[in-house]
Amino acid sequence: MDDPGDVPDGRPIVWLNCAASLDGRIALADGRRAQFSSPEDLVRVHRMRARADAILVGVGTVILDDPSLRVHWELLGERPGRDPTRVIVDASGRTPETARVLDGSTPTIVATSLRSRRTFPASVRTIVAGAETVEFPVLLPRLFELGIRRLMIEGGATVLASVVRARLFDRFTVYYAPVVVGGSTAPPIIAGRESRSAEDEVRLELTGLERVGEGLVATYVPRRASASDA
């Protein structure tokens, strides 16, 4: 997880990462879990995790996948080291009590809102970052204050949409698996509101394209506004 050229002021460096089908779906029908990453891509992902200060996912990912959000050091051929802090975006307190992210094995933060009445284990730090929803312009500076300088965001589609729409990211890598999902209920990479005009689009610049295993990893950065975009 290398630093981009321009380091943001007052918030962590934010690197988005996901694996998707060729038609841009991150899960199967109705959000059922899919393993799109190849073995080679999993090594890439865990190398990114090992270099991050924190990994962030939404509560929907926790409910569907129950991830540990830890580094699988054995995939890297390295001795176990420090695992990044886990950050869960959970505005209404839906994280299951049995979720692995609450097991106390590594530092964990739950970002929530004022409408949540949930009490989490003493080992979990809670950050209130909004009234009804978790607002990333509020959350990211709070994470920066806690010493988090490199933040990896792994999804899901609603979280990715919130960060992309707010243009609060520095890099976005997508592993495209050679598979097509199709249909209408499989979640896309980016959920949320639709773009109804060119002004609603979030434009990116492709900075890298690499074959990894059977798939392709594309790396993007936010495209800077230019006179031609006006």
- For strand 13-20 and strand 54-58, is the pairing parallel, antiparallel, or unpaired? unpaired
Share of the chain above pLDDT 70, in %: 94
Express each pLDDT in 180-202 by its tens digit.
999 999 999 999 888 888 888 99
| Number of other residues whose CB lies within 10 A of the CB of residue 121 | 11
Q: Are 109 and 129 spatial neighbours (Cβ–Cβ below 8 Å)?
A: no
Q: Rounded distance, CA 223 to CA 206, Å?
A: 9
pLDDT above 90: residue 9:
no
Mean pLDDT of the chain: 93
Q: Are 61 and 187 spatial neighbours (Cβ–Cβ below 8 Å)?
A: no
Instruction: Report whether the peptide linkage leading into residue 213 is cis, meaning its omega lies within 30 degrees of zero.
Output: no
Express each pLDDT in 122-133 by its tens digit.
999 999 999 999
pLDDT above 80: residue 27:
yes
Sequence ranges of the domains in the chain? 13-229
- pTM above the 0.85 mark? yes
Q: Rounded distance, CA 57 to CA 61, Å?
A: 6
pLDDT above 70: residue 228:
no
pLDDT above 60: residue 229:
no
pLDDT of the residue at 3: 61
Calculate mean pLDDT across residues 30-37: 92
Correct CATH for 13-229 of 3.40.430.10, 3.30.70.20, 3.30.70.100, 2.40.110.10:
3.40.430.10
Confidence of residue 150 (pLDDT cuts 50, 70, 90): very high
pLDDT of the residue at 195: 86
Q: Rounded distance, CA 16 to CA 69, Å?
A: 15
Calculate mean pLDDT across residues 83-107: 97
Share of the chain above pLDDT 90, in %: 87
Place of tokens 């990114």: 48
